[in-house]
Every structure is written in C-alpha cells, then in structure tokens.
Amino acid sequence: MKDILSELEARREDARQGGGARRIEAQHAKGKLTARERIELLLDEDSFEEFDMFVAHRCADFGMQAQRPAGDGVVTGWGTINGRMVYVFSQDFTVFGGSLSETHAQKICKIMDMAVQNGAPVIGINDSGGARIQEGVASLAGYAEVFQRNIMASGVVPQISVIMGPCAGGAVYSPAMTDFIFMVKDTSYMFVTGPDVVKTVTNEVVTAEELGGASTHTKKSSVADGAFENDVEALAEVRRLVDFLPLNNREKPPVRPFFDDPARAETSLDTLIPANPNTPYDMKELIHKLADEGDFYEIQEDFAKNIVTGFVRLEGQTVGVVANQPMVLAGCLDIDSSRKAARFVRFCDAFEIPILTLVDVPGFLPGTSQEYGGVIKHGAKLLFAYGEATVPKVTVITRKAYGGAYDVMASKHLRGDFNYAWPTAEIAVMGAKGATEIIHRGKSPEEIEAETKHYEDRFANPFVAAEKGFIDEVIMPRNTRKRVARAFASLRGKQLQNPWKKHDNIPL
C-alpha cells in the first residue's frame, strides 16, 4: 500500500513540474508565472480541485511518443473566488509551448461542460503557441470543440479570458467569444496572423507588441477589456470582477454588505453641471458619488472614452452603468462608443444585472468617416440592445439629450422603467441655435438671436418632456443616489418577457 501511495505522490509531483525546472525558470525570467502559480493566485487558498492531472497526449508521429508529460500542457479544475465556485483552465507554456492537442482540448471541454451543467463561471488563462502541428487536423478539431462550447455557454455562465502570453491563429477565437478579455502589458499578445506572415504577405514590418499587444487591443481594436502591469495584478482584478457577477443566468448577482447610506445626499452634485452648456465636466465624478463606497469597476476604460461602462453597487447589489462622457468628443455617440455600450448592455441583460444610464449626449458624431464606417448600423446596435433588454432600467439625464441619441440612451420609449432628469437637462430635437436657424430661416442675425433665446427658454429644459410623461420626475442632483437606489429597489420583482422567437437579428 505504501508503495502505491508513494508512486501516486511521485506522479503528482512529476505532473506539477510541467515542462521541468529549466523551462519554469525561463517562464519566470520573462516576468511570467507558471500555470499553477496563476491558479493559486486566482482562487481562494487551498480551494483548487484538479481534474485530469495524468492525461497525456496520444500522438505517435514525429517521435512524440517519447515525450508524454502528464497534464498535456493545461491545468484544469474548479475552485472558489471569495467562496463562490468557478471553473478554470490554465495553459502551461512550459509543456510544448502550451500548444493545443486533441487531449488538451478535451480537458478544457470537460470543465466547460461541467460549468454549464453546474452553473458556474469559466475562467480561461491563455498562454499558448497555438495548435500542436504534430497532431495536424486533430488539433484543429480540438479548437472547434472549444469554440462550440464557448457559443453554448454564452449568456448561460459568465466567461472570462485572461491572456498571459501568446495567443495566435485560431486560438484567438475562443477568447473573442467570451464575455471579458484581460491582457498583461508587454508579455501577452493576440493576433490571427503573426508579424512574419504580415511581412510576407503585405510587406509591413511590425512587432508582435504593435500588432497584437495589450495597448493595441485595449485602445485601438477593442478586442480586450483591460490591460494590467503583470500577472499578479491581472488575477487580482479578475477576482474583483467575479465579485460583481452572478454565477449563471438563473441566479441574481451577489449582494455584498454595504456601509454607505442609500439616502446619502451629495450637495456637490448641485454644482457639477457648468453654467456654460458647452463646458465639459467629468461624468465619472457622478458615478463615484452614486456608488456604494465610491467603488466603480470600469470595463474598456481605454477605448471609446466618450462613453463609460462598468459596474457599481447600490445597496450592495450589482448595477451596470452606461454613461456619456462630456470630457471626450462632448459625449457624442459614434461607431466605437455604440459598439462598446451595446455589448455591455447585452451582457447585463443576459445575466439579469440592472442598468443605470447617465445621459449627456448632444447627438451622433457627424462626418464622412462615421457615415462611411456604418454609424447607422452601429448606432442601431445600441438602440437594439436597450430596446430588447428586460432588466430594470433607470435613466438620469444630467444635461443634453438631443435628437435620435436621446431615444437611443434608454429613453422611456425603449421601455425605460424610471426616467429622471436634473433641472439642468435639455431634451430637444437639436440645440437651440441650430433649431432656430432652421425654423426662422431668412431672418436677420438679431432676430435669430432673439428667437434662439426664446427657444432656449421654451425647450432647453426638462419640463416639456415631463409634461408629456417622457420624464417621470425632475429631481435634485444632490438626491440622485437616493432616488436611483429606491428606483432599483422597487424594480427587484420586475417581470417582463419579449415575444417568443428563435433569436433576434441584431444589426451586426
């Protein structure tokens, strides 16, 4: 019996070593943690339960049968984050460069199936050179099996990808279909074709970092939702994000203890809006002052900064926030901001997370680049996302809400539950000067100026919309937290269903 127990321990120790001490040292030399170290940091202490520790590949070509390390380049299992269950896989770059084989894929598929069956999030830590070439089409089949499970799990359990090394070729499409992607600066990159192929085909000379590094994907392409300085920070932030999310689409998001009075008045908000309607202010100040303990977890902070998305808590309950940012492009909606916000709204709706919308939008950004880029279709994505959402929706208009952009930003007409406005709100088809020039075309500049003043007095306020019932209440800015918290509290029992359909046809 002792011999068997000691053999088990020896085999376990061998599996824990992955590709061996030399390769582990090389991994550390690049500033990267090993697959197991990452899992230890991500999960609660001693909570990890591993699956398939002794699985080895079945390839007999190219002399591969001589090298059959236990685990086959990926560590899989489940554990807890602050006591709540998650499933996790972590690719091991020290074993065949983390390349994906048939058995490697089967290990990942097993925990994804269990995650859907048992209703718990999946967190994938990617650090892989791509498909294992020696296995040929069996490796490609493995990728497709993983892709299919990403699709089936979408909207059922939250899926989070953490890119902590290379992720190239077909491998990028699995993270692309997950809900959130985080990268590590300088050590992770994602691209469909690498710098060498790009140079061969297009003659462009580009580095891996420029082509698919963290900066590229958080600022330019919007593929990634956040980038962090190192593995440790990235994993700590993933833990923080998981705390905001429900385990699956049948459960409500977790409720955390809170030590912040829901009725707290913020007198500074009475002076947040500048006297000049064209002067910008920071919408994040309002978000921080509304949230419990000022805690705001921002998503896609570096992309499309004219709209702000992220999670806060109100009375300990998770709320998704979408807010126009007047500091950037005057808060206009454009292609990028519409895509960013639409995806966020759909995530919240899929997982029963209520949505708070803070509006200060002068309209859609004009210009040929926007029209040629398809702003009509992209803007419709956000409109569609808000209109189909059945979760509680509370909207606060702080200043401008002009034209079609007023409709798009969770207006009463898109089944908004509570639509509040500050006294500084201006709800109109367009700005006073532009409207007056159209209505009173041909009049002298002095007459236009007088008519503009008259138009402002009549329409540059929230009361016309309130008279028609499009605004439920004009509220004092200082009481916004109290009014919004009470609104969401009243909506906790909300039940709304869309007509049956196989699925909708959102303007992709």
Domains and CATH numbers, the chain: 17-244 (3.90.226.10), 267-425+461-491 (3.90.226.10)
**Residue 426: φ, ψ to 5°:** -125, 110
Q: Are strands 418-421 and 317-324 parallel, antiparallel or unpaired?
A: unpaired
Tokens of 253: 């998001």
**Cut 0.85: pTM above it:** yes
Question: Cβ distance 58 to 41 under 8 Å?
Answer: no
Mean pLDDT for the chain? 91
Residues acting as catalytic residues: 169-170, 404-405
Considering only residues 432 and 115, tell me which one the structure prediction assigns the higher pLDDT: 115
Considering only residues 347 and 101, tell me which one the structure prediction assigns the higher pLDDT: 347
**What pLDDT is recorded for position 428?**
87
**What pLDDT is recorded for position 97?**
81
- Residue 485 DSSP code: H
Question: Alpha carbon of 419 to those of 287, 347, 398, 430, 469: distances in Å?
Answer: 17, 22, 11, 20, 9
- What confidence category does residue 76 fall into, taking pLDDT thresholds of 50, 70 and 90? very high
Give yes or no for residue 60 having a pLDDT over 70. Answer: no
| pLDDT cut 90: percent of the chain above it | 73
Pairwise CA distance, residues 112 & 161, whole Å = 13
Kindly state the average pLDDT of the residues 450-469: 85
Pairwise CA distance, residues 131 & 124, whole Å = 16
Q: Are strands 355-361 and 393-402 parallel, antiparallel or unpaired?
A: parallel
Q: What is the pLDDT of residues 364-404, one digit of tens each?
A: 999 999 999 999 999 999 999 999 999 999 999 999 999 89
Tell me which of 105-109, 291-295, 338-342, 451-455 is least confident.
Answer: 451-455
Kindly state the average pLDDT of the residues 455-465: 84
